[in-house]
Structure 1
Amino acid sequence: MGRHIVCLTFDHDHLSGFIARGLTSPTAVSRGEYDMVVIPRLVALLARYDIKATFFTPGHTIDSSPQAVMPYVETGHELAHHGWTHRLPVTLSREEEEEEIVRGNDSIRRVSGRYARGYRSPAWDLSPHSIELLLKHGIQYDSSLMGHDYDCYYARQGDVVELKEPFVRGRETPLIEMPISWSLDDFPHFEYMRNPNGSIQAGLMNANAVLENFVDDFTYMTEVCPDFGILTYTFHPHVIGRGHRMMMLERLIKRLAAGGAAFMTMEQAMGEWLARRQAAAKAAD
């Protein structure tokens, strides 16, 4: 029987995502603060099924509301890097991006006792400098790219992308990419947003319909990757925390467990992926 790993991940943005969009009214702030109600419920749900998850948490969240972060830090979940603000790296200068990485890592170390091993870009949009800077500051894996569905790979640096020229791939780096997908993220499915530019994100999808999509992605992994695969789901506490969605999340956990899923943190899954690669390389020698 194959080994099929599931990583449940939570982007604990708190207020930072709204502030980065220029949404600072009392209503916007309250939407972010709702996660303080949800976090204890999430931690209890994960404990009920003996699951360790990964929380990608901006430094702004940690420094603004450490009481919202400590429930999952103290119960052994992985605390990973999600910037300090929730600004997209691609919108920042190299110096600004490095400041985000350093400041966010300092916030993580203060509450967890160690620097982050993993990173996820706010809104999943890396800059040309991101991979270099992440490696410089000791990050071992990234979870912002979408070049695979059920396998990790090594992130590239130095791609040449020009409109009227063939695409040229850069060199592989030691940074392990643990890919994600918007289709496995709760935010576009569920969150209703009226953005400052006037655009509307409708959200508010039926949770049971989304559940079927989420389960089918796991089932498909077991069929096309019978020996080994890793599947990552992304949730946001203030989004998944509504009652009917929490019930959906629990149903998801039950159905994945019944299908043979092994739940791990991202760091644990990375370790297993590396061990398998090393064993395969040794066997080939």
Structure 2
Amino acid sequence: MNAEAKLTCCLTVGMDALSLWTTSFKSDNPSMISRGEFDAVATDRILELLATNDIRSTFLIPGHTALAYPELTKKIHGLGHEIAYHGWVHEDPREFDLAGQRRIFERGLEALDHVVGVHPRGHVSPAWNTSADTFALVEEFGFLYDGSRMATDFLPVYVRKGDRWPANEPYEFGQLTEVVGLPVAWPLDDVPLFEFVWGQLGGLTAPSVAEEIWTGDLDYARTHCPGGVFNLTIHPQSSGRGHRMLLLERFVEYVKQFDNVEFGCLGDYAERWKANNPIDVWRKANPALAGDGAITELPLGK
């Protein structure tokens, strides 16, 4: 990485809406499901914050959300923000076979195309859950980047497909693809910090705690990972509440004071990174992340 390159700060917005509660939390409780409707209220608050600070963001929109709130989805697109694929109904791909997963891709993409005429550059799996087949499908559907993996914190990778993990054998690294992997991490996601779900999430963290985590990671990244990406995932139904909106306002002002940090969306960053990091050059410099050099079996009799 160029030591003079800026860190890109991405305020990535997860528009899970109703699907978060019906699918990820498997709720049949109308009160609990209605928590997702707060996206219809709070997204305008997020959009106003972004507009005030001239920030272009990436919105992760399941097909289900696009159909439930088509005018809001059109507004996001019309304001120039990037829309990324985020499942059909925020499903866990591990619960489906290959054909089922392919159908989910098709339906999610069909919904986004129907509402805003977009085929997204980016794939971000719901709840960052992936199966052994996910990344082959990401490649098959022609995505530029994936934002579902945690192999790094602030530096991209090229994503592998076909990894396998036999129960009592060495790890099997798959094939490297041309898909750019942009890092994510649960400390940089507001749902586990803020949302309370009986027996599942403690949540209700004070904004000051999140602020300490987010500014601390930003400080490390801008100092030690020039040219990298700080990918903060927020959800209107979580961060759009008053005291948390004040946190977001403070965080944006904090970022703006540094000359070596700039705001951007995931897709634009991935395009620049890929142009500046040819896969063969990156592979040679990062053999462990590429999956090269691993020992796949032990000599017999040893």
Instruction: Classify the TM-score, shorter chain.
Output: over 0.9
Equivalence map 1:187-202=2 (5 Å): 187-194=191-198, 199-202=199-202
Please name the residue that 1:161 is paired with. Answer: 165
Structure 2 residue 65 is matched with structure 1 residue 61: yes
Please name the residue that 1:231 is paired with. Answer: 230
Equivalence map 1:114-133=2 (5 Å): 114-133=118-137
Offset of 1:63 from its aligned partner? Answer: 0.8
Tell me how far apart the structure 2 counterparts of residues 50 and 128 of structure 1 sit (CA, whole Å): 39
Tell me how far apart the structure 2 counterparts of residues 72 and 251 of structure 1 sit (CA, whole Å): 23
Q: Unpaired runs of 5+ in structure 2?
A: 282-302
Structure 2 residue 250 is matched with structure 1 residue 251: yes
* 1:108 alignment partner, SS class: helix
Q: 1:10 aligns with which of 8, 13, 18?
A: 13
User: Which of 1 and 2 has greater Rg?
Assistant: 2
Please name the residue that 1:148 is paired with. Answer: 152
Alpha carbons of structure 1 residues 91 and 37: separation in structure 2 relative to 1, 3 Å: same
* 2:163 alignment partner, SS class: coil
Task: Indicate the percent of aligned positions where both proteins have the same amino acid.
Answer: 33
Tell me how far apart the structure 2 counterparts of residues 280 and 137 of structure 1 sit (CA, whole Å): 22
Indicate if the aligned counterparts of 1:82 and 1:121 stay in contact, CA closer than 8 A.
Answer: yes
* 2:247 alignment partner, SS class: helix
Alpha carbons of structure 1 residues 103 and 224: separation in structure 2 relative to 1, 3 Å: same
Q: Which amino acid aligns with 2:41?
A: V
Tell me how far apart the structure 2 counterparts of residues 280 and 97 of structure 1 sit (CA, whole Å): 30
Structure 2 residue 113 is matched with structure 1 residue 109: yes
Offset of 1:2 from its aligned partner? Answer: 3.1
Q: Which amino acid aligns with 2:9?
A: V
Tell me how far apart the structure 2 counterparts of residues 170 and 87 of structure 1 sit (CA, whole Å): 24
Offset of 1:278 from its aligned partner? Answer: 4.6
Tell me how far apart the structure 2 counterparts of residues 262 and 216 of structure 1 sit (CA, whole Å): 17
Offset of 1:217 from its aligned partner? Answer: 0.6
Offset of 1:275 from its aligned partner? Answer: 2.3
Indicate if the aligned counterparts of 2:153 and 2:184 stay in contact, CA closer than 8 A.
Answer: yes
Please list every run of at least 4 consecutive aligned residues from structure 1 whose deviation after the TM superposition is greater than 4 angstroms.
278-281
Q: Higher mean Cα deviation, 183-192 or 65-74?
A: 65-74
Describe the superposition over 1:206-256 as per-residue Cα deviations: whole angstroms up to 9, x where unpaired. 10121111011111012212x421110111110011101011011111101
Indicate if the aligned counterparts of 1:102 and 1:137 stay in contact, CA closer than 8 A.
Answer: no
Q: Which amino acid aligns with 1:222?
A: R
Indicate if the aligned counterparts of 1:43 and 1:71 stay in contact, CA closer than 8 A.
Answer: no
Describe the superposition over 1:128-180 as per-residue Cα deviations: whole angstroms up to 9, x where unpaired. 11111122112111100000111111111122312322212112111111110
Indicate if the aligned counterparts of 1:39 and 1:71 stay in contact, CA closer than 8 A.
Answer: no
Offset of 1:270 from its aligned partner? Answer: 0.5
Indicate if the aligned counterparts of 2:16 and 2:61 stay in contact, CA closer than 8 A.
Answer: yes
Tell me how far apart the structure 1 counterparts of residues 220 and 81 of structure 2 sit (CA, whole Å): 27
Please name the residue that 2:79 is paired with. Answer: 75
Offset of 1:200 from its aligned partner? Answer: 3.3
Tell me how far apart the structure 1 counterparts of residues 43 and 8 of structure 2 sit (CA, whole Å): 23
TM-score, normalization: structure 2? 0.88
Offset of 1:26 from its aligned partner? Answer: 2.4
* 1:232 alignment partner, SS class: strand
User: Cα RMSD between the aligned structures?
Assistant: 1.6
Tell me how far apart the structure 2 counterparts of residues 280 and 3 of structure 1 sit (CA, whole Å): 24
Structure 2 residue 239 is matched with structure 1 residue 240: yes
Q: Which amino acid aligns with 2:87?
A: G
Indicate if the aligned counterparts of 2:193 and 2:205 stay in contact, CA closer than 8 A.
Answer: yes
Alpha carbons of structure 1 residues 240 and 160: separation in structure 2 relative to 1, 3 Å: same
Indicate if the aligned counterparts of 1:11 and 1:57 stay in contact, CA closer than 8 A.
Answer: yes
Q: 2:37 aligns with which of 33, 50, 66?
A: 33
Indicate if the aligned counterparts of 2:16 and 2:36 stay in contact, CA closer than 8 A.
Answer: yes
